[in-house]
A and B are shown apart, each in its own frame.
Chain A
Amino acid sequence: MAEYLILIYSDETARDTPESGSSDEIMKGHQRFGERNAAALRGGNALQPTSTATSLRPDSSGGFVVTDGAFAETKEALGGYYIVEAADLDEALALAKQIPSPFGGIEVRPIRPM
């Protein structure tokens, strides 16, 4: 068995428009996903929007440059994650396909044990 990090990316502007009115439905989708796959789930959460993010980059004098915003500015931002345990990539992909992601997409990354 291996662990995979499932990253949920979404277009925040599309997600936050009130008329999309689907946030309840999305939450229900996550609940269903959690109930169905409790055995495989090792963790997971939603993130506050990228407007709340702060990024650090080491500078040349041994300190840090602190900036407002996400590390990489992209149209689709990281909005939540799960950690799952799966036998192989196909099993992890099968789990990821059940996660609601109407405003973006999902990335599956194997976790490197340290």
Chain B
Amino acid sequence: MSDARRPLNASVEAAVAEAHRREWAFVLAATVRVTGDIDLAEECVQDAYARALATWSTSGIPTKPGAWLTTTARRRAIDLARRVSTFDRALPLLVETTSAPGPGELDMPEIPDDRLRLIFTCCHPAIGIDAQIALTLRLLCGLTTAEVGRAFLVSEATMAARITRAKKKISLAGIPYRVPPVEELPSRIEAVLSVVHLLYTTGHTAPVGADLSRRDLVERSLDLARVLRTLLPDDADVAGLLALILLTDARRATRLGDDGHLVLLADQDRAHWDRAAIGEGIVLVREALRRRPPGRFALMAAIAAVHAEAPSWDATDWSEIVGLYDLLVELWPSPVVALNRAVAVGLAEGPAAGLAALDALAAEPLLATYSYLASARADFLRRLNRTSEARVAYEEALLLSENAVERAFLAERLGQVNS
């Protein structure tokens, strides 16, 4: 059976895979405009990629694979649309403000970039956040439903149901396929950035990085942030988020030790940080901070930039970090941000100041069961030689922490103050 098939050229396979990674969202977004129906567009785009494998083997890889794929997918869509009458359609077509391109426009040398429409549709606030994330991975990154399910540790069937429900809502509730008007743009961009940031943090804080699909989430979030940067080059929040991802991800090679244990920022081998990513991130942070007041991603990126530029943990400019946290707490009054600020105060002004800042948060109910508050207190108490109080705080942290790696670390410290 396999003898009869033309052997696939490895370079064609690689080119199709590359086009899948780089062009999927572009091709799908352009095809949705023709079909007005996401499911139908997905089918046509999948079909176009399958044809690419066969066609490119004989006729060669086109100079513009994205344009080839888009034209092929759109032609397929027009063919299918002729066969399906409106009455057979189960769901209404997507709402657009501008009319869909006519057949004559299909083969234009410059296909308009509709990715922003697709992004704003996937990340519409009327869709639940879990479904926004799932749609973003499925439609913008081209992941299969099974892959999206694996990334979020749910079964393929559960993920398929979630995606289907969201697509139905888009169609039935009339979520439009367009870029929002200027007055709504800031809040809608914020919603998109939250999705990309959540994708990044889900990938970044994975339990000990053995699961490759989690690493994949980080890379997809970086790709998405880059696409947003291309499409919205003047937006400071977009620049801030891209900077934050680049600067944090620059430490990826040093976050785990050889035996798989977590390496704290203080102990990471800074020679192995990704200097190219840091350089790119710092340029973006400067740009993002130019807007007043700076946004939360810009401030978080600026904090990451201070770490990235510091030659060592001890040589870190902690007072600058405190200043940035002061701004961040004002903008985003989350107890966890306040806790991070208090720790930075301790590193800038000494353990007594840090302890005072932490104790000011003691009444915060959201932090009552948060092991990091107890462990940060324990650390400052230990440095102040208040041994018995430090012991109590370490024991409290041990009770609250459920992470094996952290528990091992805390138990070791507890042993040190006991001896």
Q: Does A88 contact B (CB under 8 A)?
A: yes
Q: Does B362 contact A (CB under 8 A)?
A: no
Partner among B97, B126, B184 whose Cβ is within 8 Å of the Cβ of A89? B126
Partner among A4, A89, A110, A112 whose Cβ is within 8 Å of the Cβ of B176? A89
Can you list 6 A-B contacts (CB < 8 A)? A2-B174, A86-B174, A89-B175, A92-B174, A93-B126, A110-B173
Which chain A positions have C-beta within 8 A of B184? 90
Contact with A along B81-112 (1 / 0, CB 8 A): 00000000000100101000000000000000
**Chain A proximity of B119: nearest CB distance (Å):** 15
Contact with B along A89-100 (1 / 0, CB 8 A): 110110000000
The 7 A-B pairs of least Cβ separation, nearest first, read A88-B95, A88-B176, A88-B174, A89-B174, A89-B173, A110-B173, A89-B175
Which chain A positions have C-beta within 8 A of B176? 87-90
Which chain B positions have C-beta within 8 A of A112? 172
**Are the CB atoms of B172 and A110 closer together than 8 Å?**
yes
For window 122-148 of B, CB contacts with A under 8 Å fall at 124, 126
Interface residues on A, range: 10 to 19
B125 nearest in chain A by CB position: A93
Which chain B positions have C-beta within 8 A of A4? 174
Whole-angstrom distance between the alpha carbons of A29 and B92 in the complex?
34
Which chain A positions have C-beta within 8 A of B174? 2, 4, 86-89, 92, 110
Name the residue among A4, A88, A90, A93 with the largest chain B CB count within 10 angstroms: A90
Whole-angstrom distance between the alpha carbons of A112 and B170 in the complex?
14
**Chain A proximity of B319: nearest CB distance (Å):** 44
Contact with A along B173-194 (1 / 0, CB 8 A): 1111000100010000000000
**Chain A proximity of B353: nearest CB distance (Å):** 44
Q: Which DSSP category, helix, strand, loop or mixed, fits chain B's interface?
A: loop
Listed in ascending order, the chain B residues whose CB lies under 8 Å from chain A are 92, 95, 97, 124, 126, 172-176, 180, 184
Contact with B along A74-114 (1 / 0, CB 8 A): 00000000000011111011000000000000001010100
Which chain B positions have C-beta within 8 A of A89? 95, 124, 126, 173-176
Whole-angstrom distance between the alpha carbons of A68 and B124 in the complex?
40
A2 nearest in chain B by CB position: B174
Whole-angstrom distance between the alpha carbons of A108 and B174 in the complex?
11
**Are the CB atoms of A90 and B180 closer together than 8 Å?**
yes
Whole-angstrom distance between the alpha carbons of A84 and B180 in the complex?
21
Known: A87-B97, A89-B174. 17 other contacts (CB 8 A): A2-B92, A2-B95, A2-B174, A4-B174, A86-B174, A87-B176, A88-B95, A88-B174, A88-B175, A89-B124, A89-B176, A90-B176, A90-B180, A90-B184, A93-B126, A110-B172, A112-B172
Whole-angstrom distance between the alpha carbons of A90 and B172 in the complex?
13
**Chain B proximity of A80: nearest CB distance (Å):** 21
Which chain A positions have C-beta within 8 A of B95? 2, 87-89
**Chain A proximity of B30: nearest CB distance (Å):** 20
Which chain B positions have C-beta within 8 A of A88? 95, 174-176
Name the residue among B92, B173, B180, B184 with the largest chain A CB count within 10 angstroms: B173
**Chain B proximity of A25: nearest CB distance (Å):** 26
A94 nearest in chain B by CB position: B184
A110 nearest in chain B by CB position: B173
**Chain A proximity of B362: nearest CB distance (Å):** 33
Whole-angstrom distance between the alpha carbons of A86 and B175 in the complex?
11
**Chain B proximity of A101: nearest CB distance (Å):** 17
Whole-angstrom distance between the alpha carbons of A88 and B120 in the complex?
14
Which chain A positions have C-beta within 8 A of B126? 89, 93
A92 nearest in chain B by CB position: B174
Whole-angstrom distance between the alpha carbons of A87 and B178 in the complex?
12
Which chain A positions have C-beta within 8 A of B175? 88-90
**Chain B proximity of A28: nearest CB distance (Å):** 25
Which chain B positions have C-beta within 8 A of A108? 173
**Chain B proximity of A6: nearest CB distance (Å):** 13
**Chain B proximity of A66: nearest CB distance (Å):** 33
**Chain A proximity of B10: nearest CB distance (Å):** 46
For window 37-54 of A, CB contacts with B under 8 Å fall at none
Whole-angstrom distance between the alpha carbons of A2 and B172 in the complex?
10
